[in-house]
Amino acid sequence: MTPKWWHDAVVYQIYPRSYCDSNNDGMGDLQGIIGKLDYLKKLGVNVIWLSPVYRSPMDDNGYDISDYQDIAPEFGTMEDMQQLLAEAKQRDIRIIMDLVVNHTSDEHPWFIESRKSKDNPYRDYYIWRQPKEDGSVPDDQGSVFGGGAWEFDETTGEYFYHIFSKRQPDLNWENPKVQEEVHKMINWWIDQGIGGFRLDVIDLIGKEIDKKITGNGPRLHQLIQEMNQATFGKKDLLTVGETWDATPEIAKLYSNPARNEFSMVFQFEHISLTWKYGDKWNPIDLDLPQFKRALTKWQVELAEEGWNSLFWNNHDLPRVVSKYGDVGRYRVESAKMLATTMHMMKGTPYVYQGEEIGMTNVAFDSIDDYRDIETLNFYKERTENGVAPETMLAAVHENSRDNARTPMHWDQTDNAGFSQAQPWIKVNPNYPEINVEAALEDQNSVFYHYQKLIELRKALPVIVYGDFEPVFEDHDKVFGYVRVDEQHRLFVLNNFTSEEVVLNIPTELQAANVECIISNYDYRQQIEEAVTLKPYESFAVLLPA
C-alpha cells in the first residue's frame, strides 16, 4: 500500500456552533476555533474536520446551504475562514470542509429560480414531479426526518423531492449542469487551501427517484469518479464519504486507490447494532460478540483494498462513554478503554470535540430544551401515534443528535467557558467536573490518554499498517486483537464491563517481558497464562518478536 499523509493522521471534528463563542452571542464561531488551535496542537491532531460554516438559514444547523462560497454571519466572514486556514497551517493542521451536495437550502438561489416556473433554466437543478391524477403526492417515499419526501409547491403546481427536511430540496444529479456547478465550487475551495472534504450523505447522489432507489444508485460511482477527475483527484487531499448503507464490498469501490474515488468512507454498521430493527428511537443493549464481528469484518475486508475510518462519535451520534461505557464510577477508565479499542485499529481515527475529555450525553428534562430538527420531528410524530412521552424522551436521552451538540466544556465558569451569553442550546450540567481546564491539570485524565494514543500512531507503523488478527472472538466481555508487521506484534486487550474478568491467554501471546505502550491502570510487564482484567481495563503491549 502506497503510504499517504492521512494514513497516520488523526482527525478532530469541530461542530462550530458548539465549540467556542468569541463574540458572546451564544453561538460558536471561527474566531473561537482559531483561539483553540494551540489546544488542538497540544492534543496532537493534524486535521480538523469542520462541520458546515457556509451561509445557511440553519434549518438543519448548516447542513442546508444557501451559498457554498460564503460564510454564515453567525460563524464569521470569509476573512475569518482564510485566517483559520493560515493559522492552522502554521501549526501543521489541515482543515477539511464538510460538503453537502445531495441537497441545498430552499433559500439557495438555484432553488429560488427553480420554483419560479417549469421552464426556468434552473428548474432541472432539482427533482420535480407532477401530482397523481387525484392531486396526491407522486409516491409514498418517506423523509429521513419523518413524514413524506414530497412537498407541494403552489407556484407551479408540482412537488419537489426532499429526503431530509422540506427546506432541504434534493439536487438533480442527472443534470450535467449540476455536476459542473458542484465541481466548480469544489475547485474554488481547493484553491482556498483546504486539506480535503467530508462529503455528507454522498451515497444518495446516484438516486433514481422513480424507481425508489436512494442509496447506492447505479450511477453513483460514475458520478464520484467524474467528481474525482474534475476536482480533488490529483491534489493529494483527504476525502471521506458518509455512506450509511455501505458494506465492505461497496466500501472497496469507494476507497480502493485504483478506482479514483475517495480516500475512505464512514460506515455505520457498528453504530446501528444498538438500534432495534434499524430504528434509533428504539434502542437496545450492546451485543459485544456481534459488535466485535462487525468491526473485525471491516478491519479484515479492507486490509488490502481501501482504507478504514475509525470513529465512535460525530455530530449525529450519542457520546460513546454514555453508549458503551460507564458515566458513573468508571467514566475515566471506560472512556480510555474505548479510545484504546478504536485507536489501535487500522485506519484513520476521528475524534469528536469533547470526546478527548470524556464528555457525556445530556438528559434534558423537557423536549422543549432540545434543538435538533430530527429529534423534535420524531418526538412529535411518535408521541402523536401513541408512544408514551416518557418512553420517547428516554430514547431521546440515549440517541438524540443533541447529545453531541451541547457546548464544549472549557472550564468551570458559567456556561462551561463556552460563552458569556446564553448558549443556543443548554450546557450539560456536569461541566464543573468534566472540562478541559481540569483535564489539562490531571496527568491521568482522558485528554492525556488521547494525546498518548495519537503520539503512538505517529511513532509505530504497526498501528498504521499492521495486519489485524482477532482474539477471544466469542467472549461476551472482552475485545482483544493483535496487530502484526515485520517488526512488531502488538497485543491489545479491552474489558467492556464493570466486572473483573479472568482470561486464559493463548500460549503464543504469553510473555515474561513485554513493553506496555499504553494502559488505563498500572502498566503490565508480563502477560501470564491467566490475566485478571480490572473493570474497563485496557492495555496494549508489544510482544517479543
Q: What are the pLDDT digits (tens) for 526-537?
A: 999 999 999 999
The DSSP result for 487-527, as a single string, is S-EEEEEEE-SSS-EEEEPPGGG-BSS-EEEEESSSPPS-B
- For 476-521, how does the pLDDT look when each residue is reduced to its tens digit (9 = 90+)? 999 999 999 999 999 999 999 999 999 999 999 999 999 999 999 9
- Asked whether 10 and 457 are in contact (CB, 8 A), the reply is yes
> Does 107 have pLDDT greater than 80?
yes
CA distance 309 to 499: 30
pLDDT above 80 for 111: yes
Interhelix angle for 78-90 vs 176-192, to 10°?
50
Confidence of residue 45 (pLDDT cuts 50, 70, 90): very high
Give me the pLDDT at residue 350, please.
98
CA nearest neighbour of 171 among 163, 216, 230 = 163
Q: What is the mean pLDDT of residues 67-88?
A: 98
- In the chain, the amino acid numbered 109 is P
CA distance 402 to 532: 38
- Specify the residue for cell string 424522551: 393
Do residues 171 and 133 lie in contact, with contact meaning Cβ atoms separated by under 8 Å? no
CA 38/CA 485 separation, integer angstroms = 34
Q: Residue 545: what pLDDT?
A: 77
Amino acid code (one letter) for 490: L
Query: CA torsion 489→496→42→459, rounded to 10°?
Result: 0
Residues 260-305: tens digit of each pLDDT? 999 999 999 999 999 999 999 999 999 999 999 999 999 999 998 9
Range 383-409 average pLDDT: 97
The answer to whether 220 and 203 have CB atoms below 8 angstroms apart is: yes
Q: What separation in angstroms does the CA of 10 have from each of 93, 287, 369, 391, 509? A: 10, 28, 33, 38, 29
Residue 390 cell numbers, joined: 416518557
Percentage with pLDDT > 90 across the chain: 98
Which residue is it, cell 475517495?
262
Separate counts of helices (H) and strands (E) for the chain: 16, 20
For the chain, the distance separating the N- and C-terminal CA atoms, rounded to the nearest angstrom, is 23
Residue-level pLDDT at 245: 87
C-alpha cell at 451: 494525546
Q: Which of 95, 99, 91 is nearest to 48 (CA)?
A: 95
Catalytic (active-site) positions: 200, 242
Q: Residue 522 above 90 pLDDT?
A: yes
- 211 grid coordinates: 424507481
Contacts of 502 (CB under 8 A, 6+ apart): 530, 531, 532, 533
Kindly report, residue by residue over 406-458, the tens digit of the pLDDT. 999 999 999 999 999 999 999 999 999 999 999 999 999 999 999 999 999 99
Q: Say if residue 121's pLDDT is above 90.
A: yes
Residue 96's DSSP bridge partners are: 49, 196
CA-CA distances (angstroms) from residue 241 to 44, 288, 496?
24, 27, 29
Greatest alpha-carbon span in the chain: 79
